[in-house]
Structure 1
Amino acid sequence: MKEHNLIYLSVSIILIALVDSVGALLGFWSIEGAERNQILVCESLILFALLLNSWLIYRKTNANTQFPAHKQIAFLSFSSLFLCLLGDITNFNLPETFYRYESVIKHDYLADSIYFFLPGYTLLLLAGIRAIELKSKDKRFIRYPVIAGCVVGMISMVMMHLPNTGWFITISTGIYAMLIGVVGFIGLAFILSCGGLKASKGELLVGSGFILAAVADAIIGNFWIYGHQGEGFYPQVRYINWVVYITSQCMVIHLPHLLVINSKYSHDKKQQDYNPMA
């Protein structure tokens, strides 16, 4: 598949997710209504298209590079998305059960999805760190985001946490809040390692994808899990989170593809500099 087709597929997925969310927010359909099964089928197809695009990017990366680091990042990126999609399925709450662990958090099934999102975003974090290492030898681009992300995640957890929340929900969401905070700051560090505002459009979009991933989970924590005294601002917050999350994933899956393109461009430029007659 040609490079621009992979981008078009991501844009199409984002637009479909946007229609899905906006339509629900405007009341044309609802996840709590009779259309629930149809919406879940539609969203499952969106996730499948996203996974397919990531797989195509993984294959194209391996076919167009000889650098082990690029192949490693492609594997980490695809594996990350695969695990996260399992978390998405958990968040669908197919059995429609609530208050499973305690009487404070209604949508506590979201904590179960952390079993998939935690390793999934850990792999994405490793892919981002590896990409930064290819751009810069300055360890500050990694050290400071990790510290900042953990601190912001802890502060966010303290601010949204509700009294009498059980230990399982508290510990799992607390650890996850720090991880996703680091993911967001790694996205910013990636952009800075690429030159900041001088970074290419692709680098800005991929880095922004990491940041949007943190925003999506901040929405879940503050408004879906702990919001409204534990009842959550549901289903409206679900619709908003859906389009932000899908957009973030559509951006970050292009990381390995972007690195291959940049590497090829850098190589061609060096060849031109070496041979002025080229």
Structure 2
Amino acid sequence: MKEHNLIFLSASIILIALIDSAGALLGFWSIEGQERNIILTIESMVLFALFINSLMIKRWVFRNTKNSAIIKIAWLSFLALCFCLLGDVTNFNLPETFYRYESVIKHDYLVDSIYFFLPGYTLLLLAGIRAIELKSKDQRFIRYPVIAGCVVGMISMVMMHLPNTGLFITIGTGIYAMLIGVVGFTGFAFILSCGGLKATKNELLVGAGFILAAFADAIIGNFWIYGNQGEGFYPLVRYFNWMVYITSQCLVIHLPHLLVINFKYSHDRKQQD
């Protein structure tokens, strides 16, 4: 597939997610109404399109570079998305079960999705760190985001945690809060490694994808899992989260795509010099 088609598909996926979320927020349809199966079908198609686009990006990368580091990043990015998609399906809560682990957290099925999102975002984090290493040898771009992400994640966990929450949910969400915090700060670090304000528009967008991923999960933790004293501000928070989450994934899957473009540009400039 041609390069511009990969970008067009991501933009189309974002647009569909925006329409889906905006329509639900405005009351045109609801995940809790008769349209539930229709909405889940549409959202499943969005996730499938995201998978296809990520797969095509990986194949495009393989055809356009022999750089082993970028190829490894392409694999990490693709596998990261695959795990996250499984987490998305879990969050659909197809059996519509609640309070499975205890009587405090209603939407505790979200904790089950951590089994997929934890390895998924770990792989994405590794891809981001490797990309930063290709840009800069300064280890501060890696060390500081890890420290800041863990600290912010722990603070966030303490602030949103509810008394009497079970140990399983507490440990699961606590570990995940630190991981997703690191992912978000890695987005800032990637932009800084690309020159900060001098970074290209594409570099800013990919970095923003990492940041939005952390923002999307912060929404889940604060307003879907622990929000409203464990009842969650559902379904409104789901609609808003879907819009932010899909946008983040559509951006981060282009990380290896961006690296190939930058590598080619740098190589061409060296030849001209």
- Aligned Cα RMSD in Å? 0.3
Q: CA deviation at 1:272?
A: 1.1
Q: Report 1:77-92 matches (<5 A).
A: 77-92=77-92
Residue 47 in structure 1 maps to residue 39 in structure 2:
no
Residues of 1 paired with 2:239 and 2:270: CA distance?
47
Q: SS at the partner of 1:29?
A: coil
Residues of 1 paired with 2:246 and 2:254: CA distance?
13
Gaps of 5+ in 1: 274-278
Q: Which 4+ runs in 1 deviate beyond 3 A?
A: none
Q: CA deviation at 1:270?
A: 1.0
Map of 1:276 onto structure 2: none
Q: Which amino acid aligns with 2:207?
A: G
Residues of 2 paired with 1:27 and 1:190: CA distance?
38
Map of 1:117 onto structure 2: 117
Q: SS at the partner of 1:86?
A: helix
Map of 1:104 onto structure 2: 104
Q: CA deviation at 1:185?
A: 0.3
Residues of 2 paired with 1:195 and 1:247: CA distance?
23
Map of 2:149 onto structure 1: 149
TM-score by length of 1: 0.98
Residue 216 in structure 1 maps to residue 216 in structure 2:
yes
Residue 56 in structure 1 maps to residue 56 in structure 2:
yes
Gaps of 5+ in 2: none
Residues of 2 paired with 1:146 and 1:161: CA distance?
22
Q: Deviations over 1:88-115 (max 9, x none)?
A: 0000000000000000000000000000
Q: Deviations over 1:212-249 (max 9, x none)?
A: 00000000000000000000000000000001000000
Map of 1:197 onto structure 2: 197
Percent sequence identity is 82
Residues of 2 paired with 1:57 and 1:265: CA distance?
18
Residues of 1 paired with 2:170 and 2:220: CA distance?
14
Q: Which amino acid aligns with 2:85?
A: L
Residues of 2 paired with 1:62 and 1:76: CA distance?
13
Q: Deviations over 1:103-146 (max 9, x none)?
A: 00000000000000000000000000000000000000000000
Q: Which amino acid aligns with 1:96?
A: E
Residues of 1 paired with 2:30 and 2:19: CA distance?
13
Q: Deviations over 1:44-90 (max 9, x none)?
A: 00000000000000000011101100100000000000000000000
Residue 161 in structure 1 maps to residue 161 in structure 2:
yes
Q: CA deviation at 1:208?
A: 0.3
Map of 2:174 onto structure 1: 174
Residue 240 in structure 1 maps to residue 245 in structure 2:
no
Residues of 2 paired with 1:62 and 1:167: CA distance?
44
Q: CA deviation at 1:271?
A: 1.0
Residues of 2 paired with 1:14 and 1:66: CA distance?
30
Residue 76 in structure 1 maps to residue 76 in structure 2:
yes
Residues of 2 paired with 1:129 and 1:225: CA distance?
29
